[in-house]
Structure 1
Amino acid sequence: MDVSIGRNPRLLAALVCLVVGVVALGLGLAPYFGMGATQPVPLAFDDPFDDPFDDPLEVAAPLPQPTAAPVELIVYVSGAVYHPDVYRLVEGARVKDAVVAAGGLRDDAARDQVNLAAPLSDAGHVHIPALLVNAELELVPADAGPASAQALQLIDLNHASAAELESLPGIGAVLAERIVSHRETEGPFRSVEDLRNVTGIGAKLFSQLEPLVRV
């Protein structure tokens, strides 16, 4: 027999109750089967205004810069200084530094002919000229006899040091060393004329030296 639901109120009510019960049952069991609504998970975004160098512990320490070793200058100092020799100086040194290293200027140094502010260079040669004095006067003791009251103080070729020889006109460090070497290898000078046997001393230079030296 064909029965219409719309015409049977009891059947309609029973059907509605069944649907409501099924829905309620489904809602009650949903949490146990993971069917509940999921909580939104916030996404992490980098802060564009966050300065990564705010934390001092995260800032890398600067690398130590290598320091260059000072440049060394080797300079030969000769002439009217107290200790002519080869000296080691630092880059940027001046002639004055070389003179100080050599003990300073002697009293007979021609100071006006030296530029103490001139810069030095490696393997350089600083020569301090001496004053060109022909001879120094020395008082003779009263019991020296009827000789002249004054006598010339001449450079002794057999005893003068290389520095003393450099005080003579035209005699630099090289010629002074040659004179000393000559008397050491050939023996003492027997006369002033023997000075001409030294290489580098010609007739013109000898004529200037002859009145200033003795043996």
Structure 2
Amino acid sequence: MDMEGQPWYRRPQRVAAVICALIGGLLIAFGPEARAMWWPEEAVKATEGFEVEALPTPTVAPLVVYVSGAVVAPDVYRLTPGARVVDALQAAGGLAELADVSGINLAAQVRDGEHIRVPYAGEAMAQAATSDQARLINLNRASAAELEELPGIGVALAARIVERRETKGPYQRVEELREVTGIGEKLFNQIAPLVTIGP
């Protein structure tokens, strides 16, 4: 019995200390055999050769764009994701002489499959003129119904315009519309910008 009058085996702290001392002695004395007692062989084998597999690095597909027009080397190019229009133009060798980029946003992000075309200087104006020319009514080819779309031109005047070209030949000048009965100076000035004589 100890100084407090209780046997040592009734003191939990003393019992725990004795058990720890016994286990430590067994590990020291028996080594691998004691390890096998507390750590089954199956568990040891299960941990041997175990490797954590690294997750594959995701691959990001490149952007494929077609660059044409006023560039040095028009072609299809692969760009890194997040590329800008200016990057696409640089990939195409840069701008050609007389290139007009005033209508292009060079800072815009490129989309996969996009077609980037750089116009030449003056090309936009030529296209606008061609478009305007296409909207003009041809005095030598238009039907009476098409001529009626002109301001101030009704059924009667449209028929007279057609009759004029059939009797005197194709119109050589827009001013010849003045020869049609019923078309005065005021009406002529209204329709003259809207018509053409050919080709």
Structure-1-length-normalised TM-score: 0.35
> In proportion to residue count, which structure has more helix?
2
Structure with higher Rg: it is 1
